[in-house]
Amino acid sequence: GNTASSKNQQLREMISGPDLNFLMESHNALSAKIAEQAGFSGLWASGLTISAALGLSDRNEASWTQVLDVVEFMTDHVNIPVLLDGDTGFGNYHNVIRLVKKLSQKHVSGVCLEDKIFPKMNSFLGESQKLADIDDFCSKIKAAKDTQLDDDFTVIARTEALISGLGMSEALKRAEHYRQAGADAILIHSKSDNADEILTFSAEWACRGPLVIVPTKYYSTPTEIFQQARISTIIWANHSLRSSIVAMRETTRHIFENQSISHIEQDIATLEDVFALTNEVNANLADKLYKAG
C-alpha cells in the first residue's frame, strides 16, 4: 500500500491542485474502507460522526486520544489519506502541538482546525458561537505547521465567521490572517441553505489559496457551480453515518416486528462481504504460514 508520506503528498496535491476534489466522511475503519472502495481518494474523519458513532454529542465529550484511537483504525485499514476534523485543536497551541505530533506519527495526513472555543459544539447548533481571538487562532496554525513531521502534512484553517453572524468582511479578514499564519487551505463554512455567501467569499478571496467547503446545508447547489467558483475541495461531511442510521433502523425494526430474519437476508450485506471488508483472506494466509501443529 501507500506509505505515510505518499498519502500525505496525495492529500496535499488534492488540496493544492487545480481540480475539484472530494473527501468522504468516515467515522470508523469499516466506513473508511467502504468509501475507499466507492472510489474516493481521500477521507474526512468527521468530529460529528465519530462522536455520534460513540453515542456522544459533537462537543468534545470524546477526549482527543479517544478520537485518535478511532482514526488510527481508519488509517490502518485504507490506502487513501485521512484528513482529521481536529475541532479547535482540543485547547490552545500546547494541545495543538501534541495533537499534530501524534497525528503525524499515526499516519493521519492532515488536520482541520476551526476558530471556535474549546469545548466547541457543532456549527449547526445554537446561535452565534463565540469565536477565538484571531491571534490566538493564528498561534495554533503556526504551532501545527511547525510541529508536523512531514512536509506534506496538511493544515487547514476553518473559519466560522459566517456561521457566527460576523459577516463577510470578518470572514475574509480571518481567512487572510490564517493564510499568512501558514494554513495550507481555508475552510469557509456556511449554514445557509444556498451557496450565495460561499460564492461571494470565493470571488472576494480571488484564489489567494485553496478553499474547502462543506455543503451540508446548501446541498442542492450543483457541483459544477463550485467547480466554476474554483473551490478546491468539497467535504461530504456526514452522509455515510446518516445513511447507516436509516439502514440499521429499517433492519432492526423489521426483525423486531417479524420476530424473524427470513425476509431481510437478501437485503443486507452477506457474511462473505463482511469477511472481505475485514481482510479475512490475510488471516487465512497467516494461519497457513504460522499455525503450529
- For the annotated catalytic residues, the residue numbers are 58
How far does Cα 137 stand from its chain's mean position?
20
Instruction: Note whether 46 and 6 are within 8 A (CB).
Output: no
Nearer to Mg ion among residue 56 and residue 283 (C-beta)? 56
110 binds, among ligand SPV, Mg ion, none (CB under 5 to 8 A by kind): none
* Minimum gap (Å) between residue 205 Cβ and ligand SPV: 20
Query: Is 4 or 174 the residue whose CB approaches ligand SPV more closely?
Result: 174
**C-beta separation of 218 from 198 below 8 A:** yes
Does the protein bind Mg ion through residue 160 (CB under 5 A)? no
DSSP output for 268-283: S--HHHHHHHTTHHHH
Q: Which one of Mg ion, ligand SPV, none is in contact with 244 (Cβ closer than 5 to 8 A by kind)? A: none
| Minimum CB–partner distance for residue 142 and ligand SPV (Å) | 22
Which of 143, 163, 164 is CA-nearest to residue 155? 143
Show contacts with ligand SPV in window 34-63 (CB under 6 A). Answer: 46-48
User: What number of chain residues touch Mg ion (CB under 5 A)?
Assistant: 3
Grid coordinates standing for 119?
469545548
**Beta carbon nearer to ligand SPV, 157 or 237:** 237
Q: In this structure, which amino acid lies at residue 46? A: S
> Cell 489519506 identifies what position?
81
Shortest spacing between CB 5 and ligand SPV, in angstroms: 26
Q: Are 268 and 251 in contact (CB under 8 A)?
A: yes
**Identity of the residue numbered 232:** S
> Residue 1 has which C-alpha cell?
500500500
Q: Which residues pair with 235 in a beta bridge?
A: 23
Q: How far is CA 123 from the centre of its chain?
A: 14
Asked if 240 touches ligand SPV (CB under 6 A), the answer is: no
Q: Smaller CB distance to ligand SPV: residue 75 or 216? A: 216
- 32 interacts with ligand SPV by CB under 6 A: no
* Contacts of residue 216, Cβ cutoff 8 Å, sequence gap at least 6: 124, 237, 238
Binding mask 32-51 for Mg ion (x = CB under 5 A): ---------------xx---
User: How many other C-beta atoms lie within 10 A of the C-beta of residue 276?
Assistant: 14
CA dist list (Å): 158 to 81, 184, 213, 241: 19, 11, 9, 22
Q: Does 238 bind ligand SPV (CB under 6 A)?
A: yes
21 binds, among Mg ion, ligand SPV, none (CB under 5 to 8 A by kind): none
User: Binding residue for ligand SPV (CB under 6 A) from 216, 232, 233, 240?
Assistant: 216
Q: Which of the residues 105 through 164 are near ligand SPV (CB under 6 A)?
A: 122-123
Amino acid sitting at position 249? R
Nearest approach, Cβ of residue 209 and ligand SPV (Å): 20
* Contacting ligand SPV within 85-104 (CB under 6 A): 85
> Per-residue string for binding with Mg ion, 74-113, x by CB under 5 A?
-----------x----------------------------
How far is 102 from 84, CA to CA, in rounded Å?
A: 12
Which residues of the chain form contacts with Mg ion (CB under 5 A)? Answer: 47-48, 85
Give the footprint of ligand SPV on this chain (CB under 6 A): 46-48, 85, 122-123, 214, 216, 237-238
